[in-house]
A and B are shown apart, each in its own frame.
Chain A
Amino acid sequence: MANLSVNIHKLKLKNPVMTASGTFGYGEEFDDFIDVNALGGFIVKATTLLHREGNPYPRMAETPMGMLNAVGLQNKGIDYFVDTIYPKFAKYSNCIVANVSDSTVEGYVEVASKMNALPNISAIELNISCPNVKEGGMAFGTSCPSAIAVTKAVREVYDKTLIVKLSPNVTSITEIALAVEEAGADAVSLINTLLGMAIDAEKRKPVLSTVTGGLSGPAIKPVALRMVWQVARAVKIPVIGIGGISTAADAIEFLLAGASAIQVGTANFVDPAATIHILKGINEYMERHKINDINELIGGLIL
């Protein structure tokens, strides 16, 4: 059997298939459908310092081959996560990555340092790219100085693998990627959602309570693929590809573009077993192309 294992800094994934934050709950929502342990790892939904109710309803608008969301980081805060959610992870043996967000640098630091103390959390993904909160989130990820400031501050308190999740809503995602690499990131993951909007013409009103929201799903795949390719050529640290991946072919494309691993997001909503189908398809591709080690595919685009 071919080798599927990949490394993201100190993180050893048994295969490159992970799930994107906010699309996979805390893993247990999918236990009925798949063996969650079969995945390389999963990224649990964002945790902030304090409890957040998130944005008002409506939070979702379906769009051609995708959807807009405006959830707004609803979660019960880091202390609840540590006390109530974290113990449930004992049943999983794969890599669990915590997505960390907040409105202030101090908030990010406090959440990250508490995550650092949890042995079963093997990495954090710094969310500086959520488009659905008024303060923090994307505001940190759209300028180099603020991206550097939050990455540096978290780096000081976090000594396991630090992944920074990048926003596509910038002029040059490569510049931000290079900035966070310089600031101490061990890997970057991209892309978070693209800022978008939906209007109900009959009512002359926005569909989302927040007017704008984050676009995800197959609709954004070509944009994500292009950004992963650009960033992977620019940085030395591993890149994790995210954006509309719903088939094994999509996943392979991201690996060829330079991603060392991928995250399946919105596809989990349509097919809760999507990750397992993708994993099976990657195996089939490797057999068909007689590839023994998946690492041969990473950045293997022929130009």
Chain B
Amino acid sequence: MKKHLLDFELISNQSLNHNHNLLGLRCTSALPAITPGQFVEVRVDGSPSTYLRRPFSVHRVDYNSNTMHLLIKSIGEGTSRLASLLPGQLVNIILPLGQGFPLDENKNVLLVGGGCGVAPLWFLASELKKRNNNITMLIGGRTNRDVLMPDAYTQFGNVLVSTEDGSLGERGMVTGHSFFKDQVSGINTVYCCGPDGMMKAVSHIAEKFRIPCYVSLENTMACGMGACLCCIVDTKQGHRCVCTDGPVFNSLELKGWSAEIEVGCSIDQ
């Protein structure tokens, strides 16, 4: 897919909680085709300590209005700067980048998101629904305020929630959710995005049930297009770039992700 360097106009900036914002961006030219799981590299203007672009997976795409949405978590100066953008401001973006999720048709699929890991799952769910899949979505967070917009996903299928403190949905880790005990055997594909520990634990369960599990990795990147070789992940075929070979990988390709024993996990961040 051809990569583009384009300006977007910020059309909305919605605060979702203390450190998450949903940015609506309208492309100043034709929005290129994007697949769920692909990401973009956003230039951060007006932040002298931020030299490199910031990578974000695409949260939503609407070709009719020529817009896309990015769900961003403020963790440093660069992301905080982006979270403070005002409507009308221009944002320079490289897109689309990387390999997205393979899309099933007419299957039972499980989407698991932890914290801001739900970011690519909206776009994924909307495309999976178009392909007539039966969607179950499991969202985990430390507390209820870390579970971002759970009601908004009900349009795509069944939404389940777990929080570590029990303030919303089932209490405990996302991998401890009763869905994994009772119903996971009926699932054909698992799609997962969140902290590494959570994704590893989910992939271990999927492996046990022999369900393909696709995970979206988030390694530190400089360029986002395979030039710098900084964001590598160790796979069974050696080092691969998360930016060009991923960010989505089948968990079985990743070295050290295969489970002999089940491990617990915590959704931190």
Contact B234 A269 (CB under 8 A): no
Top 5 nearest A-B pairs (CB, nearest first) are: A60-B230, A269-B223, A25-B227, A32-B3, A59-B230
- Which of B94, B229, B238 has the most A CB atoms < 10 Å from its CB? B229
> Known contacts A23-B227, A29-B225, A57-B219: does B232 contact A218 (CB below 8 Å)?
no
Can you list 24 A-B pairs with a CB-CB distance of less than 8 A? A24-B227, A25-B226, A29-B225, A29-B226, A33-B3, A57-B219, A58-B220, A59-B220, A59-B232, A60-B220, A62-B52, A64-B48, A64-B49, A67-B222, A69-B228, A71-B228, A71-B230, A74-B229, A74-B232, A269-B52, A269-B223, A270-B43, A270-B52, A272-B223
- Bound form: Cα–Cα A53–B238 in Å: 7
- Which of B4, B5, B224 has the most A CB atoms < 10 Å from its CB? B5
Contact A64 B51 (CB under 8 A): yes
Contact A54 B52 (CB under 8 A): no
In residues 42-62 of chain A, which contact B (Cβ within 8 Å)?
45, 53-54, 56-62
Contact A268 B223 (CB under 8 A): yes
Interface residues on A, range: 35 or more
Contact A30 B51 (CB under 8 A): no
Contact B3 A217 (CB under 8 A): no
- CB of B201 closer than 8 Å to a CB of A: no
Contact B3 A269 (CB under 8 A): no
Which chain B residue has the least Cβ–Cβ distance from A207? B220
In angstroms, how far is the closest chain A Cβ from the Cβ of B268? 13
Apart from A71-B230, A273-B5, what are 7 other A-B pairs with CB-CB below 8 Å? Answer: A22-B229, A29-B227, A53-B238, A57-B231, A58-B230, A60-B221, A270-B43
- CB of A302 closer than 8 Å to a CB of B: no
The secondary-structure label for the interface of chain B is loop
Residue in B2, B4, B51, B228 whose CB lies within 8 Å of A22:
B228
> Known contacts A30-B227, A53-B238, A53-B239: does B232 contact A270 (CB below 8 Å)?
no
Across-interface contacts of B221 in A (CB, < 8 A): 60
- CB of B116 closer than 8 Å to a CB of A: no
In angstroms, how far is the closest chain A Cβ from the Cβ of B221? 7
Query: B30-54 toward A: CB 8 Å interface, digit per residue (1/0)?
Result: 0000000000000100001111110
- Bound form: Cα–Cα A192–B3 in Å: 29
Residues of chain A touching chain B, judged by Cβ–Cβ distance below 8 Å, are 22-25, 29-30, 32-33, 45, 53-54, 56-67, 69, 71, 74, 217-218, 266, 268-273
Across-interface contacts of B228 in A (CB, < 8 A): 22-23, 60, 69, 71, 269
Contact B232 A272 (CB under 8 A): no
Residue in A22, A33, A54, A69 whose CB lies within 8 Å of B239:
A54
- Bound form: Cα–Cα A47–B221 in Å: 22
Across-interface contacts of B227 in A (CB, < 8 A): 23-25, 29-30, 268-269
Across-interface contacts of A45 in B (CB, < 8 A): 229
- Bound form: Cα–Cα A271–B222 in Å: 11
- Bound form: Cα–Cα A202–B172 in Å: 26
Contact B231 A60 (CB under 8 A): yes
- CB of B233 closer than 8 Å to a CB of A: yes
Which chain A residue has the least Cβ–Cβ distance from B230? A60
Residue in B5, B231, B233, B239 whose CB lies within 8 Å of A272:
B5
In angstroms, how far is the closest chain A Cβ from the Cβ of B101? 22
Which chain A residue has the least Cβ–Cβ distance from B221? A60
- Which of B43, B225, B231 has the most A CB atoms < 10 Å from its CB? B225
Contact A56 B52 (CB under 8 A): no
